[in-house]
């Protein structure tokens, strides 16, 4: 087992971990703040990729797509929260679960009707093609380096938003005790609305960033949903830091098992999750008592 092979494998793991982090953040934010398990998360991921295809075909510019897709799909998320999820608050977490499950079906089918069930290619943006070949260290694909960078930047922005702004303070407070926050004169419903939009926007961004690495197809959100759950649960649902650490951990574990025991590379993720939960029943950074 040569050194550069292990290096390449670790790099692959970190790049994969970055995708996992992106994936799970949106899910985690929505769960942590709203107590809603969003089963349509994978579908929003897929919609993000297709929205990217659409905007790219329209403008021919990846960077415009990168800015527009989260806003577009985030706006869709706002509508979903306002008209579908909002009537369900206070009815227990099973209801949003079933509703978003149904929504996932609808979104996948609508995409099949609009774009066909074949799937479509998504070229890596011109600027980010190719890679860096470092002798003795391995080959690093530019686009994956870019995804790692984007993930880091995004996590930093989110952290600043939630921990360092007045708005973040309100969001955190509303997730702990919405009634008190409402009494203090804050429109909690608007906070929930924006958090849901933020979560779906993040899912869409993850889908767009994943599109040039994978092909775009209507079913691309299915496995992704399960992966996002695993990462979120390992990190502790609702914990931003936990999700980031768990995402990287899962990426590296999956990558190294792919090298040493390829048959076990998918199962390793679930074994890790089972192991973590048996030792820490609420995940690595989860709060013992749930908000709702």
Residues 10-49 that bind other proteins (CB under 8 A): 12-13, 15-16, 19, 31, 37
Tell me which stretch binds other proteins (CB under 8 A): 64-72, 176-184, 189-197, 269-277.
269-277
Taking residues 162 to 201 in sequence order and writing x for each that binds other proteins by CB under 8 A, - otherwise, the string is: ----------------------------------------
Distance CA 256, CA 268 (A): 10
Burial of 252 (0-12, 13-18, 19+ CB in 10 A): middle
Could you say which residues in the range 271-290 bind other proteins, by CB under 8 A?
Answer: 271, 273-274, 277-278, 281-283, 286, 290
Candidates 24, 141, 151, 239: give the one binding other proteins (CB under 8 A): 141
Answer yes or no whether residue 244 interacts with other proteins by CB under 8 A: no
Report the b/e string of 24-62 with b at 16+ CB within 10 A.
bbbbbbbbbbbbbbbbbbbbbbbbbbbbbbbbbeeeeeb
Taking residues 248 to 267 in sequence order and writing x for each that binds other proteins by CB under 8 A, - otherwise, the string is: ------xx--xx--xxxxxx
Give the DSSP letter of residue 93. Answer: T
The upper half-sphere exposure of residue 95, i.e. CA atoms within 13 Å in the direction of its Cβ, equals 10
Answer yes or no whether residue 8 interacts with other proteins by CB under 8 A: yes
Q: Calculate the CA dihedral of residues 67, 28, 156, 177 and round it to 10 degrees.
A: 110
Tell me which stretch binds other proteins (CB under 8 A): 2-10, 61-69, 157-165, 240-248.
2-10
Answer yes or no whether residue 119 interacts with other proteins by CB under 8 A: yes
**C-alpha distance from residue 122 to each of 51, 244, 271 (Å):** 12, 27, 33
Tell me which stretch binds other proteins (CB under 8 A): 61-69, 97-105, 148-156, 183-191.
97-105
**Residue in the structure block whose two tokens are 């890790």:** 272
Candidates 82, 189, 214, 287: give the one binding other proteins (CB under 8 A): 214
């Amino acid at each position: 087992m040569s050194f550069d092979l292990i290096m390449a494998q670790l790099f692959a793991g970190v790049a994969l971990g970055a995708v996992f982090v992106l994936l799970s953040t949106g899910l985690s934010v929505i769960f942590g703040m709203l107590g809603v398990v969003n089963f349509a998360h994978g579908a929003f991921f897929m919609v993000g990729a297709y929205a990217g295809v659409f905007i790219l075909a329209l403008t021919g510019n990846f960077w415009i797509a990168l800015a527009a897709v989260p806003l577009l799909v985030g706006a869709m998320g706002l509508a979903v929260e306002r008209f579908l999820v909002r009537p369900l608050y206070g009815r227990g977490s099973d209801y949003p679960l079933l509703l978003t499950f149904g929504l996932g079906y609808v979104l996948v089918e609508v995409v099949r009707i609009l774009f066909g069930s074949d799937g479509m290619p998504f070229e890596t943006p011109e600027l980010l093609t190719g890679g860096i070949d470092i002798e003795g260290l391995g080959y690093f694909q530019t686009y994956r380096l870019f995804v790692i960078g984007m993930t880091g930047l995004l996590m930093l922005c989110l952290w600043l938003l939630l921990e360092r702004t007045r708005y973040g303070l309100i969001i955190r407070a509303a997730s702990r005790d919405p009634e008190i926050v409402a009494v203090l004169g804050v429109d909690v419903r608007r906070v929930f609305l924006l958090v849901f939009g933020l979560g779906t926007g993040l899912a869409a961004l993850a889908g767009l960033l994943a599109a040039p690495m994978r092909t775009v197809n209507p079913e691309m959100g299915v496995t992704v949903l399960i992966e996002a759950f695993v990462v979120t649960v390992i990190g502790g649902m609702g914990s931003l830091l936990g999700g980031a650490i768990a995402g990287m951990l899962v990426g590296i574990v999956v990558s190294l098992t792919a090298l040493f025991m390829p048959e076990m590379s998918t199962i390793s993720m679930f074994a890790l999750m089972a192991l973590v939960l048996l030792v820490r029943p609420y995940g690595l950074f989860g709060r013992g008592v749930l908000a709702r």
